[in-house]
Structure 1
Amino acid sequence: MSTAKKKPLPLTLRITKYVNTIHSKMTDHLIMGEAVPSRHSMIHGEIVVVADPGHSGPGKSAYVRLCSCTKVDPDTGKGKLSKKAILRHVKTTKDKGLNITVYSVKFKVEAEFGIPGAFLITNEHKHKFFLQSATFEVSSVEIIHFDCQSWVYPIRRTKTDRIFFSNTCCLPNQTPAAMVELRREELHSVRGDGTGERKEWERIYEYDHYGDLGNADQGHDHARPILGGNQAHPYPRRIRTGRTCSNNDPKTKSQPKTIDLDIFVPPDEQLHPKKLLELLSNSIQSAVHFIVPEKKSLVKEDSGSFDSFNEMLEVFSGNQGQQVEKVPDVVRKMAPNKQLKRMIRAIKTVQAKFPLPQIIAEDKWAWKDDREFARQMIAGINPARIQRLQEFPPYSEIGEESSIEAAHIAHNLDGLTIEQAMSQNKIFILDHHDYLMPFLNRINTKGICAYASRTLLFSSRDGMLKPVAIELSFPDSWSDEEVHEVFVPASQGIEAALWQLAKTQVTANDSAHHQLISHWLHTHAVVEPFIIATRRQLSAMHPIHQLLRPHFRDTMHINALFRHILLNSGGVLEKTLFTGEVSMELSSELYKEWRFDEQGLPSDLLKRGMAIQDLESPAGVKLIFHDYPYGEDGLDIWIAIKMWVSDFCSVFYKQDVHIQSDEELQAWWSEIRNVGHGDKKHEKWYEMKNLADLIEALTTLIWTSSALHASVAFGQYAYASYAPNRPTLCRKFIPEEGTVEFAEFLRDTDRYYIKMLPRRSEMTLWIALMEVLSQHTSDQEYLGQRSMVQWTDKEEVHQLFMKFERNLRDIRGRIRERNKNPELRNRGGPAKIPYELLLPNITDDRSTAGIIGKGIPNSISI
């Protein structure tokens, strides 16, 4: 006899069956002449709340009403509401200074009330609270689960109750009659009217341009162009805050005078209090690193350069760092509001030095190795910029021919001619030329010395890449032509020192591209319009909303903090990257090249010539060389995501016509193309007319939010915190023979090189940023995990998700085996850093917080 678990019926059939059962029992009692049982039943519930640090929980100041998805109230046309039930305290536990409280609620409802499909909560307390989850036990039927994950503000602020829908989902045309109007009203309520300044308690999702990057009130030097809504500076849209306009420039928004952690994002997008506490703790920890006085102060009065490599290494502590018993007063003064001050009080001790980055953990000189320099282009933190060279010499878009000649590289091709090497797919290029050239005259001011670069690489017999030539270019100040200089590898003498300077200019180019394009633009910025459109057009009851929700968690709040602290005029990126004041304008220039249908990994690999089509492969492509860690691990993850998305969508969409007739889905996709990414609406997009379109679009979106972001974000401290490996700017040009600078270079090549790197203050600020951006918080939710086990009521979906989890476990094992394979030299390289940026973390242990945390988070949450 089979013991397989019986699949639950769809919601509409369960409701019908429940009502018929009640009616049948009532009829039986009447026929038998028995007394009719009570027409009331009890529903017991449990609410989990996290209070803001320093605030009490809502207690009896909050009450709940259930909304039936079975019985329609004839007066409202919506589901019948239960009477109010107040929250009754059950227990409170402590978690890192936060109070997590479980409350019980009890409802006496009519027997025909049926199954709750939603509930309304009213907060009459004076403080907001974070509503984590709710469960309601319907007598003799089932438990209804709600994964809330949102802030609930006092009703004196919101003027309305807050509604949450259950974890049951359905397409619009399958909505129970009692929920149809509620579903429509909830979507309408979050769209706003595009006027007024948004308040922190408003659940309003509107689009806006990036008009808040500059600060014209501080003077002309702080003016920045508006990004988005114009041909000159196209950009993805962001959430509208409605802040007042600048006094000096009515087209741009004003900027807060201090670091304001309460910058507007809707309550559903605000960080969980535990996440916010950890993020602030990590930030303060990093700030203390270069503020706490040491034997040798990490911030000297002159803020000049380091004097030696050893002095740079003293910034790092190795495994053990000195602890400071309290946060210094100078850091406390950085706190502009009461919330931050309360959180600072929760921090007991901090480390006085930065942890040792992986790039120098095994060998402090590995970064100088040409093979490590090249390996990081395919296994570092910017692995999707390199491409196969398809014509020699390289040309720019305006027809400017590279000055790299065959004689420069012929002797480095293992006996092959250039034509043979190219036909065998063995020559590659890292190109930071075309997009930088128009900006260089504006960049090379205030001590910045930057070039545009092209780097050619060759895949040698041992499977590793080796650089064979670097071309550095800049515009001639006396003509419209470019000035080029080509450098080739050398192992000793002055030529080797010059070669090292050339590599440094390349890595500075790559650092800015990584941070502004690969990290910010291609993940954080392009995903935000999808989040806004999802909230505005896909009901919380919609299955695609349910699928995407964990992949949007915290992104909008993190983006708002980025704009306010990192990306704005005078922000951290302008102070540390060589692109300075043109940083965001430059990212707008590269958004012109962005197309959503090219963001999926297989499409990206094909576009860059790193793979060829292979219809027999599950991904449809085959890598041109297998020891490409980002490509090989990434394709495994891509295939697993696509299989999961395909399985999920097939549960709800049996035919293509169901996709075409889904009014919410079609409105969502139209708004993304025409509004959220409105500057790209004339580009090619999936038409969203069939299941294949939907699967490809959703796979690309989940890949971008999870794996792509993980690949460029969580290795930053390992590789980029040590400036000699990945400097953010250069303060000296490569010296020309016969000049004073060349004489200085000859006297001490190492000292010249160190003086070329960022100043002490810039370097330590960058290390602190890398530490914060690389850390995994303890509440991180990883690919293949969900915060609530009962996140869906469909057993079939649960089984498919478990299949996805098993696939990720298998991938984890395969990646571990690859990293042990000595023949795959690019998996670790001279620095001996195993490639684990795309290593799934499918465990029940979520305590992997810290700089060495591994895994692929579900969302862009840092």
Structure 2
Amino acid sequence: SGFVKAHWMEDWYFGYQCLNGSNPLMLRETRHLPPNLSVTSDMLRPFLPEGSSLEKELQKGNIYLLDYEVLDGVPANVINEKQTYLSAPLCLLHLNQQGQLLPIAIQLQQKPGPQNPVFLPSDSGYDWLLAKMWVHSADFQCHQLISHYLRTHMMAELCCVATLRQLPDAHPLHQLLLPHVKTSLKINFGARASLLASKGLFDQAVGSGLATLPLLLSRGSARISYRTLCVPEDLSDRGLDKLPQSFYAQDALRIWDTVHRFVTSWVELYYHGDDAVQRDPELHGWLTDINAHGFSNGFPQRFHTRAEVAKFVTALIYSCSALHAAVNFSQLDFAFWVPNCPVAMLRPPPQVKGAVTEDDIMSFLPDVNTTCRVLMALNGLSQPAIDFVPLCHYKEAIFREDAHRRLLEEVQAQLRDISDAIAERNSQLELPYPYLSPERIENSVAI
């Protein structure tokens, strides 16, 4: 957190956090500017390489976008009897020749117009800083409710309930999946009874309060597609797989590949051909249950092949283990310095440039008592569970049988190699990225 405090105002660190912060799921490469972002080529020329243009940089794949449209028009909370404010910013970033990702334009609301200026790095220092704080505040809402709660906690619960309802104890996928999902019911029940309840953390301390929650969660669900849960597709769709500084992407791919090989071998142990998959009514009852209560975009409606089953199960295990580690255990590091991660904003987004002073910046930030509540909660969430079980370690009897034990020895050896490689890389970095080191990844959502 000392590093965050020292560097939070710097543009390169803003870009770094989009790749390796607690929410590496929003950033995407874009070849076409959103029609509602009112930037022009001339406006951005000063922030691009000499002799290049916005059109050329878009073509080369050097322009990235953060778009918080999911927050557009959602009601903001009242905290300590004060109205707070949410915005739905668009932020354009440029990948420069040094491999840094720098923000080059921020528009704080979705609808372009005279009262919604585009802020630029050449604006007064406080204007630009405040615009970046608005982006981080929007990011906090999306991070907590969509990237964290929906994509890991609710995914685990959805899978847990469907597994208990549809797959008998002896079913191979029941045996494989239950260790990854069984802790989720207790954790989520606790979250809904405290953090997300009346007089709970979101109600009393966060910009997205009780009126926001149902709306944001339903919009968030509608925007989660199957491709976004499959790491290789998600990273290549968003252009993160080619960025040398994207440590989240590099580590996520290695873990996905290792878990995928393990799950594929497991599926092949039980299903001797694709026809065996098609003839398993319990498997299809399970998938139907998940689809009936889950997300709708592009999810498989039927399994035709062993490969489809292995990919789907890998996506579930990854979401409940590695993704949760990346978005949960990182949050205190970035949020501890409050201006880097404002959980609520006490004044509306500026509608003109040049009106903000240093003193004004502080007046946007939430009261000390609400901030302390949030930090205490994040601190609690950042502690590993007392009975921590690392990724792909299992205590259940089935995993002690010969064929299963061989699979486990293989996957655990591969995960140890990944931990060693990450430790080696991190020893060379000023800013290590430790969150996806397999020995730190919990097997399930247990906190």
- What TM-score comes out, normalization by structure 2 length? 0.93
Q: Which amino acid in the other structure matches residue 274 of structure 2?
A: D
Q: Which amino acid in the other structure matches residue 484 of structure 1?
A: N
List alignment gaps of at least 5 residues for structure 2: none
Find the partner of 1:692 among 307, 313, 326. 307
- 2:328 corresponding residue in structure 1: 713
Q: Confirm whether residue 794 of structure 1 aligns to residue 401 of structure 2.
A: yes
Q: Which amino acid in the other structure matches residue 732 of structure 1?
A: R
Q: Confirm whether residue 373 of structure 1 aligns to residue 3 of structure 2.
A: no
Q: Which amino acid in the other structure matches residue 22 of structure 2?
A: I
Tell me: CA distance 1:442–1:482, structure 2 relative to 1, closer, same or farther (3 Å): farther
Tell me: CA distance 1:737–1:417, structure 2 relative to 1, closer, same or farther (3 Å): closer
> What is the CA deviation profile of residues 607-641 of structure 1, one whole-angstrom value per residue up to 9, with x for unaligned ones?
3343xxxxxxxxxxxx2223211111100000000
- 2:185 corresponding residue in structure 1: 556
- 2:435 corresponding residue in structure 1: 837
Tell me: CA distance 1:539–1:469, structure 2 relative to 1, closer, same or farther (3 Å): same
Give the whole-Å Cα distance in 2 for the aligned partners of 1:363 and 1:552.
33
Q: How does 1:93-112 map onto structure 2 within 5 Å?
A: none
Find the partner of 1:647 among 259, 265, 271. 265
Q: Which amino acid in the other structure matches residue 550 of structure 1?
A: P
Q: Which has the higher helix share?
A: 2
Q: Which amino acid in the other structure matches residue 658 of structure 1?
A: A
Cα shift at 1:684? 4.0
Find the partner of 2:105 among 460, 464, 469. 469
- 1:172 corresponding residue in structure 2: none
Q: Confirm whether residue 860 of structure 1 aligns to residue 445 of structure 2.
A: yes
Between 706-715 and 656-665, report the one with greater CA deviation.
656-665
List alignment gaps of at least 5 residues for structure 1: 1-358, 396-400, 611-622, 823-827, 842-854
Contact 1:426–1:459, Cα closer than 8 Å, also in 2:
yes
Give the whole-Å Cα distance in 1 for the aligned partners of 2:114 and 2:189.
39
Higher RCO, 1 or 2 (CA under 8 Å, sep at least 6)? 2
Find the partner of 2:421 among 775, 800, 814. 814
- 1:131 corresponding residue in structure 2: none
Cα shift at 1:573? 1.4
Give the whole-Å Cα distance in 2 for the aligned partners of 1:470 and 1:799.
52
- 2:135 corresponding residue in structure 1: 506
Contact 1:440–1:474, Cα closer than 8 Å, also in 2:
no
- 2:47 corresponding residue in structure 1: 412
Matched-pair identity in %: 29
Contact 1:453–1:506, Cα closer than 8 Å, also in 2:
yes
- 1:294 corresponding residue in structure 2: none
Find the partner of 1:488 among 114, 120, 127. 120
> What is the CA deviation profile of residues 272-308 of structure 1, one whole-angstrom value per residue up to 9, with x for unaligned ones?
xxxxxxxxxxxxxxxxxxxxxxxxxxxxxxxxxxxxx
Find the partner of 2:155 among 504, 507, 526. 526
Give the whole-Å Cα distance in 1 for the aligned partners of 2:62 and 2:338.
30
Tell me: CA distance 1:736–1:471, structure 2 relative to 1, closer, same or farther (3 Å): closer
- 2:387 corresponding residue in structure 1: 779
Contact 2:28–2:238, Cα closer than 8 Å, also in 1:
yes
Find the partner of 1:544 among 159, 165, 173. 173
Cα shift at 1:501? 0.9
Cα shift at 1:585? 1.6
- 1:760 corresponding residue in structure 2: 368
Q: Which amino acid in the other structure matches residue 383 of structure 2?
A: Q
Contact 1:528–1:556, Cα closer than 8 Å, also in 2:
yes
Cα shift at 1:738? 10
Cα shift at 1:426? 0.9
Tell me: CA distance 1:443–1:470, structure 2 relative to 1, closer, same or farther (3 Å): farther
Q: Confirm whether residue 583 of structure 1 aligns to residue 213 of structure 2.
A: yes
Q: How does 1:154-233 map onto structure 2 within 5 Å?
A: none
Q: Confirm whether residue 633 of structure 1 aligns to residue 230 of structure 2.
A: no
Give the whole-Å Cα distance in 1 for the aligned partners of 2:226 and 2:164.
20
> What is the CA deviation profile of residues 441-489 of structure 1, one whole-angstrom value per residue up to 9, with x for unaligned ones?
888994213322111111112212111111112769xxxx784211111
Contact 1:378–1:628, Cα closer than 8 Å, also in 2:
yes
> What is the CA deviation profile of residues 481-534 of structure 1, one whole-angstrom value per residue up to 9, with x for unaligned ones?
7842111114xxx80111111111110000000001000011111331211111
**Is the partner of 1:467 in helix, strand or coil?**
strand
Cα shift at 1:542? 1.5
Find the partner of 1:384 among 15, 19, 25. 25
Tell me: CA distance 1:705–1:736, structure 2 relative to 1, closer, same or farther (3 Å): closer
Give the whole-Å Cα distance in 1 for the aligned partners of 2:423 and 2:249.
15
> What is the CA deviation profile of residues 209-259 of structure 1, one whole-angstrom value per residue up to 9, with x for unaligned ones?
xxxxxxxxxxxxxxxxxxxxxxxxxxxxxxxxxxxxxxxxxxxxxxxxxxx
Give the whole-Å Cα distance in 2 for the aligned partners of 1:375 and 1:673.
35
Give the whole-Å Cα distance in 2 for the aligned partners of 1:539 and 1:583.
34
Q: How does 1:278-427 map onto structure 2 within 5 Å?
A: 359-360=1-2, 362=3, 364-392=5-33, 394-395=34-35, 401-415=36-50, 416-427=52-63
Q: Confirm whether residue 449 of structure 1 aligns to residue 85 of structure 2.
A: yes
Q: Confirm whether residue 600 of structure 1 aligns to residue 230 of structure 2.
A: yes
Q: Which amino acid in the other structure matches residue 403 of structure 1?
A: S
Q: Which amino acid in the other structure matches residue 589 of structure 1?
A: R
- 1:667 corresponding residue in structure 2: 285
> What is the CA deviation profile of residues 87-112 of structure 1, one whole-angstrom value per residue up to 9, with x for unaligned ones?
xxxxxxxxxxxxxxxxxxxxxxxxxx
Cα shift at 1:574? 2.7
Which protein shows a greater Rg? 1
Give the whole-Å Cα distance in 2 for the aligned partners of 1:817 and 1:408.
42
Cα shift at 1:754? 1.6
Q: Which has the higher strand share?
A: 1
Tell me: CA distance 1:607–1:406, structure 2 relative to 1, closer, same or farther (3 Å): same
Q: How many pairs are equivalent? A: 444
**Is the partner of 2:392 in helix, strand or coil?**
coil
Give the whole-Å Cα distance in 1 for the aligned partners of 2:145 and 2:114.
25
Give the whole-Å Cα distance in 1 for the aligned partners of 2:312 and 2:166.
16
- What TM-score comes out, normalization by structure 1 length? 0.49
Cα shift at 1:584? 3.0
Q: RMSD in angstroms over aligned alpha carbons?
A: 2.4
Q: Which amino acid in the other structure matches residue 488 of structure 1?
A: L
Give the whole-Å Cα distance in 1 for the aligned partners of 2:197 and 2:38.
37
Contact 2:291–2:301, Cα closer than 8 Å, also in 1:
no
Cα shift at 1:725? 1.1
Contact 2:146–2:220, Cα closer than 8 Å, also in 1:
yes
Give the whole-Å Cα distance in 1 for the aligned partners of 2:75 and 2:275.
52
- 1:460 corresponding residue in structure 2: 96
Give the whole-Å Cα distance in 2 for the aligned partners of 1:628 and 1:753.
30
- 1:431 corresponding residue in structure 2: 67
**Is the partner of 1:451 in helix, strand or coil?**
coil
Contact 2:77–2:83, Cα closer than 8 Å, also in 1:
no
> What is the CA deviation profile of residues 409-432 of structure 1, one whole-angstrom value per residue up to 9, with x for unaligned ones?
212122221122122211101111
Contact 1:597–1:685, Cα closer than 8 Å, also in 2:
no
Contact 1:645–1:695, Cα closer than 8 Å, also in 2:
yes
Contact 2:71–2:86, Cα closer than 8 Å, also in 1:
no
- 1:80 corresponding residue in structure 2: none
Tell me: CA distance 1:413–1:535, structure 2 relative to 1, closer, same or farther (3 Å): same
Contact 1:686–1:697, Cα closer than 8 Å, also in 2:
no
Contact 1:474–1:483, Cα closer than 8 Å, also in 2:
no
Contact 1:451–1:473, Cα closer than 8 Å, also in 2:
yes
Give the whole-Å Cα distance in 2 for the aligned partners of 1:405 and 1:754.
32
Give the whole-Å Cα distance in 2 for the aligned partners of 1:475 and 1:577.
24
Tell me: CA distance 1:636–1:835, structure 2 relative to 1, closer, same or farther (3 Å): same
> What is the CA deviation profile of residues 540-564 of structure 1, one whole-angstrom value per residue up to 9, with x for unaligned ones?
1121111112101311110001111
> What is the CA deviation profile of residues 32-78 of structure 1, one whole-angstrom value per residue up to 9, with x for unaligned ones?
xxxxxxxxxxxxxxxxxxxxxxxxxxxxxxxxxxxxxxxxxxxxxxx
